[in-house]
Structure 1
Amino acid sequence: MLTNQEHCRAKYLLNELGLARHFDGMYYSAALGHRKPETKAFKVVAARLELQPEHILLIDDTPENVDGAHRPGWQASLWKDGMLLSDLLQQGPNGGLRQTE
């Protein structure tokens, strides 16, 4: 998970709201020193994950963050109100997502 949060809020999201049960890890702006939609934030996360950008998917409800993810080559999709994650994932590997070269 990549999120724009400060340290206390990130800890709250992981531990109190239980997001740690659903994600392998959290990359957040206060710890990274960069925030979405800055290209550097996406590059730092990709490097820490040791993944090529085209193998990373961002789902975000802010168009600027989706555009920011596209710049370094991430897959990205805009989350819209009322959308179901299962519907987004059923669209296939490029359904609603940016095609990578």
Structure 2
Amino acid sequence: MTSPQRAFIFDMDGTIVDNMAFHTRSWMTFFQRRGHALDADAFFLSTAGRQGHEIIRSYLGESVSDADHAALMAEKEAVYRELYAPHLATVAGFDALIGAAREDGVALVVGTAAPDENIAFTLDGLDLRRHFDAIVGAADVRRGKPNPDVFLMAAERAGALPEHCIVFEDAPLGVEAARRAGMRAVVLSTTLPAEAFAQFDNVICVARDFSGLSIASLFASTPAAPII
């Protein structure tokens, strides 16, 4: 009897790369140009993991047309890429973990709310695309996190059942999306402390980075949220 397919599903922003501060700064710049003064911390908690069109319509209203939305998103993402480009790098231990996972037969998938341009900017800029079995982004699903759509599609493309998938996330909305998908989650505390995830019953580990994570231990884990 063959073992079931296992999969690691990685959020991208704030997880593969430690860039959420740059995304928040670009959103602050974008909304300041339109007369909105926002609290950066509150904005992150309410939006991280949501798709760009959802965020824009939350603040600018449902009347934004599709054409206007495309132009607005292009503006915001151009600001982000300009800010983050000099700092583009993977979180410590990521390259070693995916190399070990590949050798162990674990499928690797990206499940992100990012648009295609930012996926290319990050994954191609770091030559990471070749390591993944599939990539699911904002263009592939209708609803962003905390809806489970992106992770369920990632599992489907990996050929793995949700109970055999582990999601790596940095944001509460992403961990909630994993919970709704029936998946365990590893939290990277790149953006928020462990306490921000205390309410989630699907978290098996909170870690500062990917260093020292054991593939066998992760798949054997039940939610307890030890801090590494």
Q: Confirm or deny a common fold (TM above 0.5).
A: yes
43 and 89 in structure 1: CA distance in 2 versus 1, 3 angstrom threshold: same
Report the equivalent of 1:45.
154
Identity over aligned pairs, percent: 27
**2:141 maps to which of 21, 27, 32:** 32
Matches within 5 A, 1:11-26: 11-26=120-135
Per-residue deviation, 1:43? 2.0
AA aligned to 2:148 is T
Q: Does the Cα contact within 8 Å between 1:70 and 1:98 map onto a contact in 2?
A: no
Higher relative contact order (CA 8 A, sep 6+): 2
Inter-partner Cα distance in structure 2 for 1:67 and 1:53? 14
Report the equivalent of 2:208.
83
Inter-partner Cα distance in structure 1 for 2:150 and 2:135? 13
What TM-score, normalized by structure 1, do the two folds share? 0.75
What TM-score, normalized by structure 2, do the two folds share? 0.37
Matched positions, count: 98
Report the equivalent of 1:62.
171
Inter-partner Cα distance in structure 2 for 1:25 and 1:90? 20
Unaligned regions of 5+ residues in structure 1, if any? none
Report the equivalent of 1:6.
115
Per-residue deviation, 1:67? 1.9
- RMSD, matched Cα: 2.5
Which protein has the larger Cα radius of gyration, Structure 1 or Structure 2? 2
